[in-house]
Structure 1
Amino acid sequence: MTKIKVCGLTRMEDIQAVNEAMPDYCGFVINVEKSRRNCSPLLVKEMVCRLDKRILPVGVFVNAPLRLPTLLLREGTIAIAQLHGQEDEAYARELQKASHCPVIKAFSVKTSQDVEKALKSPADYILLDQGAGGTGKTFDWSLVPEIKRPFFLAGGLGTENLEEAIARLKPWAVDLSSSLETDGRKDPEKIKAAVAMVRKMEKDN
């Protein structure tokens, strides 16, 4: 049963769109100034207040001070922290210990060694990506062996390649962002189409 995460929400309209489409997870890029999808913790709190309780909010961080994701997890603003920087194993373990919440660690996949490194992570979930998040580019899927632990697949996923990605790699979850946008904003129809495609594959399997 593949799950789906819609990442990079920035507006109340985006919350309305995911509430209608009902993905399993939605992601917020928090205090990452270089990202055009950057949100302040206060804005994320406001958006999550209107989020359907059946959708788990994920905070995406890049080398943030440990206290930031810890606080947001403890207060329930987010349910999961996704680490997208150079956070090491000690950081991930400390965050798990301090928050008692799941942690996702993202890895840029350029070689098979990158996948081997990811598989050793103490994080609850690993996320395999092309590199810089939100670029809309895939990586070489042939580098990924059969993986036993739950993992998120990201990087250039959209309705044109979702079926192939799920069939080939059998990820725990798929993570989409840029493919669900029109003119730099999340597109409700694209979100609905992607979620519907994943749900259909669940039924067919």
Structure 2
Amino acid sequence: MTKIKICGLSRLADIAAVNAARPDYIGFVFAKSKRQVNFETARALKQALDPGIAAVGVFVNHPVAEISALAGAGIIDLIQLHGDEDEATVRLLQAQTGLPVIRAFRIKSPADIKETTADYRLFDTYDPNQYGGSGAAFNWDLLAGVSGDFFLAGGLNKDNIATAIQQVRPYCVDLSSGVETAGVKDRDKIIEIVEMIRTINR
């Protein structure tokens, strides 16, 4: 069954929406972004989050100590590295925090699909101007033959999610702008797409 991640939550209203929809994962973006949250905001949001939903911290070239502090405070349950972090950083975070690590790869050619010691890979759209959150999909044909559990991100929405799941067979689909209206999370869109994905999986 395909897992679901709703990324970029920044308001208590977003938490109320996912508590109603019950995806498997949510994401707090600590990297510079319009969806960025700080330590205290993330703590308050995590306290309001249904304990059955795992919180992923999204980082771009952050200090290991900062990530470890968030892990130690129980604010995040998984670590997503979306920058230029090397494999030594992946291993160090795994050892220091004991949390699963997701390593993001931005895809524009087959050469971008690399192996990693992280627990999961995440495949996102390559954008020369930003590390993620472009809201655009990439050529999923590039993932043909990729094995192991991976997250699929990049421009997913209600219009392409069924095709994405059936063609790519990801472990988890990662949605952000596809469940927003005017740049903020939309409760109705979140509930609708989670129900849609659960139906596809039946």
TM-score scaled by structure 1? 0.95
Query: Does the CA-based 8 Å contact 1:80-1:102 persist in structure 2?
Result: yes
Q: CA deviation at 1:74?
A: 2.3
Q: Which residue of 1 aligns with 2:18?
A: 18
Matches of 1:72 and 1:125 in 2, distance apart? 20
Q: Which residue of 1 aligns with 2:173?
A: 174
Give deviations 1:179-203, integer Å, cap 9, x for gaps: 1110111000000111011111111
Q: Which residue of 2 aligns with 1:130?
A: 125
Query: Does the CA-based 8 Å contact 1:146-1:169 persist in structure 2?
Result: no
Q: Which residue of 2 aligns with 1:142?
A: 141
Query: Does the CA-based 8 Å contact 1:152-1:171 persist in structure 2?
Result: yes
Percent identity among equivalent residues?
Answer: 46
Q: CA deviation at 1:145?
A: 2.1
1:54-203 alignment, distance < 5 Å? 54-115=52-113, 117=114, 120-131=115-126, 132-203=131-202
Letter matched to residue 4 of structure 2: I
TM-score scaled by structure 2? 0.96
Letter matched to residue 192 of structure 2: A
Matches of 2:148 and 2:72 in 1, distance apart? 26
Matches of 2:74 and 2:119 in 1, distance apart? 18
Q: CA deviation at 1:64?
A: 0.3
Gaps of 5+ in 1: none
Q: Which residue of 1 aligns with 2:29?
A: 29
Matches of 1:89 and 1:198 in 2, distance apart? 33
Q: CA deviation at 1:70?
A: 1.2
Q: Which residue of 2 aligns with 1:3?
A: 3
Matches of 2:157 and 2:190 in 1, distance apart? 10
Q: Secondary structure at the match of 1:101?
A: coil
Letter matched to residue 17 of structure 1: A
Q: Secondary structure at the match of 1:9?
A: coil
Matches of 1:110 and 1:135 in 2, distance apart? 13
Matches of 2:147 and 2:103 in 1, distance apart? 16
